[in-house]
Structure 1
Amino acid sequence: MSDRMIAVIGGSGLYRIDGLEDASWQDVETPWGRPSDQILTGQIDGIEIAFLPRHGRGHVHAPSSVPYRANIDALKRLGVTDLISVSACGSFREEMAPGHFVIVDQFIDRTYLREGSFFGTGCVAHVSLAHPTCPELSATCATVAEDAGVTVHRDGTYLAMEGPQFSTLAESRLFRESWGADVIGMTNMPEARLAREAELCYASIAMVTDFDSWHPDHGEVVIATIIATMSGNAEKARKLIARLPAALGAAHPPCPKGCDRALEGAILTTPEHRDPALVARLDAVAGRVLD
């Protein structure tokens, strides 16, 4: 019996995965509201898989309205141990061209309309985000993508913008030239923050669709071009996902980087001062350390 369960959150263009055995869509209730959609569960190579379309089937959620807390809680509640985020992005680097994948290891968070934590008044916690993705899981994703024939760039910095509009030319130049970002997207934050609070190993695969607006030969972002590139990227992502279970294996040993122990020592509110209502909402995310 596998003790690993892999989840994939699919971004723009990725609304299904192939090859799942015993596949079924199921509702998962959370104290943070409804997830973006039902969650598709099944097995590949005997390993449990969960798939959640971030924007919902039919793309009904804008980046700012994605129920990030409900999504992460629902996956944790199902028993997920490893979470792979797949998302479309723009590129700030000539060498990171449309159709390429970037394995993200750092974030610059420019979002401001979203709830970014499970914790708050009545139960305060501070987790480390110095290294917001899991190096082990990220390395495996990169290797599997390369084996599937995808051009992969490792260790990219992802700038998360609020959206839903794309960048101005001035913003694009700032993020590229002064801030050192490699790619830009709208959905990896606060997702990565919440995954860390939920003690999940988290990897981010950014699929390049365009050069944002900085590139002199490409100009402004055109949605029709993005959608055309998205289709090819989604097919590559499905091939990658199908190979991941075999590469990761059924066993899930303790994460060498401590992703699965991120809450140890993080909760500062003493037990007698914790808000019982908030503690009850944290049963799936933090029950391991609160019990």
Structure 2
Amino acid sequence: MSTTASLGVIGGSGFYSFLDDIEEVRVDTPYGPPSDPVAVGELAGRRVAFIPRHGRDHRYPPHRIPYRANLWALRALGVRQVLAPSAVGSLTPDLGPGTLAIPDQLVDRTSGRPQTYYDEGAAVHVSFADPYCPHGRRAALKAARSADWDLAADGTLVVIEGPRFSTRAESRWFAGQGWTLIGMTGHPEAVLARELALCYTPLCLVTDLDAGIEEGEGVTMDEVLRVFGENVGRLRSLAADIVTALPTERDCPCPNVLDGIDLPLRLP
């Protein structure tokens, strides 16, 4: 059985079951081990690699996830297109729990996370004006509409450091900027994918209204897990539909983002 794959998924442990004939692969990277051994399997005739973002036992909080190792390991196995399902909060009452959002923009409000592969040897500046793969987003939107999701076809995801949730004042400030979604894992994941010339497409499941948007006790982990658990099967099916719809040949801008740059390291 081949341990290579062209497509990758970074998500929750509930995604193991959408692959057939799984083989676990341990990948050594210059940045340490990934969150867990990579599960490589079949889906509709395509080879797919899966990494549980937080580890299968959820041992990595958002600010300690080995993001660099995860993306490097996927590329080392041949992955060039990545789907990234995650739970997010909503910064607007218009996007309630159970909504699927495919954001088109990202704002980084994290601190202290390693967020580049090119931190020595030479300065490397990659384009990140549009942080997500346009063809991946198109495939995701088409599949979500076909599956009759309550869908937000764009939006701005603000990524906070975590692991705590926002204060009401922070939440209202984020919403006041016009940002619509809030999460803890979308950065540096997206920029690291760009630095490896990978296509990266987020699938954001809204699990709650953020603290400044709704009165009450605020966001709780129980609420997030409950809503995510109620929707994970449907989200898993959607990811499978998108995987089968993604083109085998990439003609988006993502493969060419490093063209003309003298890289200080050799990519896998």
The TM-score range, normalised by the shorter chain, is: over 0.9
Q: How far did residue 4 of structure 1 move?
A: 7.5
**Structure 1 residue ranges without an equivalent (≥5):** 285-291
Q: Secondary structure of 2:227's partner?
A: helix
Superposed CA deviations along residues 96-153 of structure 1, whole A, max 9, x for unmatched, are 1101110011111011121010002213210000000011101111221222232111
**Total equivalences in the alignment:** 265
Alignment of 1:272-283 (within 5 A): 279=265, 282-283=266-267
AA partner of residue 182 (structure 2): I
Partner of 2:124: 125
Q: How far apart in 2 are the matches of 1:136 and 1:46?
A: 21
Alignment of 1:119-268 (within 5 A): 119-177=118-176, 179-249=177-247, 251-255=248-252, 258-267=253-262
| 8 Å contact from structure 1 (residues 17, 238) kept in 2 | no
Q: How far apart in 1 are the matches of 2:188 and 2:179?
A: 17
Q: Secondary structure of 2:93's partner?
A: coil
Q: Secondary structure of 1:86's partner?
A: strand
Structure 1 stretches of at least 4 aligned residues deviating more than 3 Å after TM superposition: 216-219
AA partner of residue 7 (structure 1): G
Q: How far apart in 1 are the matches of 2:103 and 2:159?
A: 12
Please tell me whether Structure 1 or Structure 2 has the larger radius of gyration of its CA atoms.
1
Q: How far apart in 2 are the matches of 1:68 and 1:253?
A: 24
Q: Secondary structure of 2:211's partner?
A: coil
Q: How far apart in 2 are the matches of 1:15 and 1:112?
A: 29
Instruction: Give % identity.
Output: 38
Q: How far apart in 1 are the matches of 2:142 and 2:216?
A: 30
Sort the Cα spacing of 1:84 and 1:218 in 2 relative to 1 into closer, same or farther, 3 A. Answer: farther
Q: How far did residue 158 of structure 1 move?
A: 0.3
| 8 Å contact from structure 1 (residues 41, 50) kept in 2 | yes
| 8 Å contact from structure 1 (residues 15, 57) kept in 2 | no
Q: Secondary structure of 1:108's partner?
A: strand
Superposed CA deviations along residues 235-264 of structure 1, whole A, max 9, x for unmatched, are 121111221233224x21332xx1011111
TM-score in terms of structure 2 length: 0.94
Partner of 2:8: 7
Q: How far apart in 1 are the matches of 2:261 and 2:154?
A: 27
Q: More deviation in 203-212 or 16-25?
A: 16-25
| 8 Å contact from structure 2 (residues 92, 213) kept in 1 | no
Q: Secondary structure of 1:190's partner?
A: helix
Q: How far apart in 2 are the matches of 1:4 and 1:151?
A: 31
AA partner of residue 77 (structure 2): L
Q: How far did residue 229 of structure 1 move?
A: 0.3
AA partner of residue 283 (structure 1): L
Q: How far apart in 2 are the matches of 1:140 and 1:283?
A: 27
Sort the Cα spacing of 1:266 and 1:181 in 2 relative to 1 into closer, same or farther, 3 A. Answer: farther
Q: How far apart in 2 are the matches of 1:173 and 1:245?
A: 36
Sort the Cα spacing of 1:233 and 1:196 in 2 relative to 1 into closer, same or farther, 3 A. Answer: same
Superposed CA deviations along residues 72-111 of structure 1, whole A, max 9, x for unmatched, are 0000001111101111110011121101110011111011
| 8 Å contact from structure 1 (residues 86, 206) kept in 2 | yes
AA partner of residue 254 (structure 1): D
Sort the Cα spacing of 1:19 and 1:63 in 2 relative to 1 into closer, same or farther, 3 A. Answer: closer
| 8 Å contact from structure 1 (residues 18, 242) kept in 2 | no
Q: More deviation in 70-79 or 139-148?
A: 139-148
